[in-house]
Chains A and B, each alone.
Chain A
């Protein structure tokens, strides 16, 4: 088993920052969808506008997935910090 060294406080803080960043990506996904929807409506042609709109929707979903993944990775980081601390604090006590 490789050596483990951890500062649980840095995990907790990092988890919060990573989750916040995930929220930022989700916000970007929403902004992207809105911008592309506006562009699609302004193209002036149903077919081309539809293609652009579909692209925007698809991309927005991918970005949202990235944001969600980041947010949850931050959650995992926080959870890891808690688990390390919980192990250290409680598992070997009588």
Chain B
């Protein structure tokens, strides 16, 4: 698919995934050629019967050529996977945008139809009202005339008028109902239209970031100097706004033994000796750069095809990285500097540069290029991932709650994990009804957690020593003590997957869920991350304390054993913010 189609502000991203995959295949094939080349050179060395100074030099040079080819082959395979990953991102995004366009067209048609229906219903109501008024007027005239009232014809007119009024009222009510239904359809269609628009924008954003990654990989490799102190590829250096130091002038060289002895033999010796001094070094450095650049891209996620197993979560991750991607796209120079850890490079610390490239490159993306020098690591990225999951889970829970067809269920507390296949829990114990409603809104009903209250009470008590307290609702519902708190949503998810962040539409209740989660985190020595209507809170594993997260750097990541110093002011604020929650 070439993409480019557009409708109502949604555009299918341009590009040809099939051609990209084919190109990636050709790169793998080229890598095979280089491996074969490397093998042949090793074969040459093995078959020579030659000892002496020239032999040693030839062996060194040929061995380097073989090693370079082999490393190049590995780098090409990595680069092929980068291109292939981009192709998969592009293909998925094109499909998503195409579907978004179809949905938008359908929604627009429904919006148009609903508006027409509303207008028709309003017109019908007007007509019915006129009929009612006319019928009432006719009845009024009949009753105001004592003479007519005594006649049979008047009675007939009165009966007709009453029947007409009743009929008109029925029509009025029917028209009002049609208007209500049409307005509901309009609302749903407009919501679908908004979602379609957002899906289109998400797809576009995903491809934009993947393209930034592609450029970054090329720049990351191209910015490498061909030798310590040597020039980078001019085009890449210019794109990155970097002026690398001028390479030192080469010293006069008397040449090799081969060059001195055989300089008159077709000029081959002289040329080869120069190349041995300069070109292989450049290729070698470039090869390492490609490899590191490719590794960076694969680890970064945007072009990793595995991430597309869960497109929703990935789009959320893009949202988290969106500003960074935008920055990188618009400021390739600054991004490039941060990406390649320019400080080390400019200072000639090549070893440190190579060692630090990958984590700093990731940090560069996560922080919009500005934070790499400060963070020097991936901690924030990992934390951001978890926080993004929690945020996405909360959004999913809120969306599900508001989509419920009945007020009874819209009043319940929803807890979910992130992703289309994440678990869902609804407060209360009307599991069959809940499954039915989930199916109606397009969710897989098998995702609904269905542990009964009795089971929850038993597990929380036996595993964590948390006893669910009695509530007046227990008696009102003629249930045993502890039943009510055992029907709350969040613990049903957490007892099975405590290390998976969840979103809850309401903060955990003070009497049971909040202390229950705290105890669970403490006993399991696991950080539990929940995102509620009050924001993200982590119950830390070391003591179960609930800590609100106000910025990503507050949160070093689920299951980490971070030092206590990272936890500053704010401890306990979450606890004070807890409110009772219930079905």
Q: Verify B48–A4 contact, CB threshold 8 A.
A: no
Which B1-15 residues have a C-beta within 8 angstroms of A? 2-3, 13-15
Chain B residue nearest in CB terms to A69:
B275
Q: Verify A38–B19 contact, CB threshold 8 A.
A: yes
Q: Verify A55–B218 contact, CB threshold 8 A.
A: yes
Chain B residues near A82: list those with CB within 8 A. 265
Contact of B62 among A10, A24, A25, A73 (CB under 8 A): A73
Which B276-306 residues have a C-beta within 8 angstroms of A? 276, 279-280, 282-283, 286, 290
Chain B residues near A13: list those with CB within 8 A. 47
Which B39-74 residues have a C-beta within 8 angstroms of A? 40-41, 43-44, 47-55, 58, 61-62, 65, 68-69, 72
Q: Verify A45–B15 contact, CB threshold 8 A.
A: yes
Contact of B72 among A2, A44, A63 (CB under 8 A): A63
Per-residue interface assignment for chain B, residues 349 to 369, with 1 indicating a CB less than 8 Å from any chain A CB and 0 otherwise: 000000000000000000000
Q: Verify B279–A7 contact, CB threshold 8 A.
A: no
Q: Verify B268–A79 contact, CB threshold 8 A.
A: yes
Number of interface residues of A (CB under 8 A): 55
Determine how close the nearest CB of chain A comes to the CB of B539; give it in whole angstroms.
Answer: 43
Q: How far is the CA of A59 from the CA of B218 in the complex (A)?
A: 10
Chain B residues near A21: list those with CB within 8 A. 37, 40-41, 44
Chain B residue nearest in CB terms to A25:
B37
The verdict on A47 contacting chain B, using a C-beta distance below 8 Å, is yes
Interface size class of B (residues with CB under 8 A): 35 or more
Contact of B221 among A10, A48, A55 (CB under 8 A): A55
Given the interface pairs A5-B51, A39-B23, the reply to whether A66 lies near B15 with Cβ below 8 Å is no
Q: Verify A31–B266 contact, CB threshold 8 A.
A: no
Q: How far is the CA of A65 from the CA of B86 in the complex (A)?
A: 29
Determine how close the nearest CB of chain B comes to the CB of A54; give it in whole angstroms.
Answer: 5
The verdict on B222 contacting chain A, using a C-beta distance below 8 Å, is yes
Q: Verify A52–B214 contact, CB threshold 8 A.
A: yes
Chain A residues near B265: list those with CB within 8 A. 76, 79, 82-83
Chain A residues near B471: list those with CB within 8 A. none
The verdict on B554 contacting chain A, using a C-beta distance below 8 Å, is no
Q: Verify A36–B268 contact, CB threshold 8 A.
A: no
Contact of A38 among B26, B48, B68, B280 (CB under 8 A): B26
Q: Verify A59–B286 contact, CB threshold 8 A.
A: yes
Interface residues of chain A, those whose CB is within 8 Å of chain B, are: 2-7, 10-11, 13-14, 17-18, 20-21, 24-25, 27-28, 31-32, 34-36, 38-39, 41-45, 47-48, 51-52, 54-55, 58-59, 62-63, 65-66, 68-70, 72-77, 79-80, 82-83
> Closest 5 interchain pairs by CB?
A44-B15, A44-B14, A35-B26, A42-B19, A39-B23
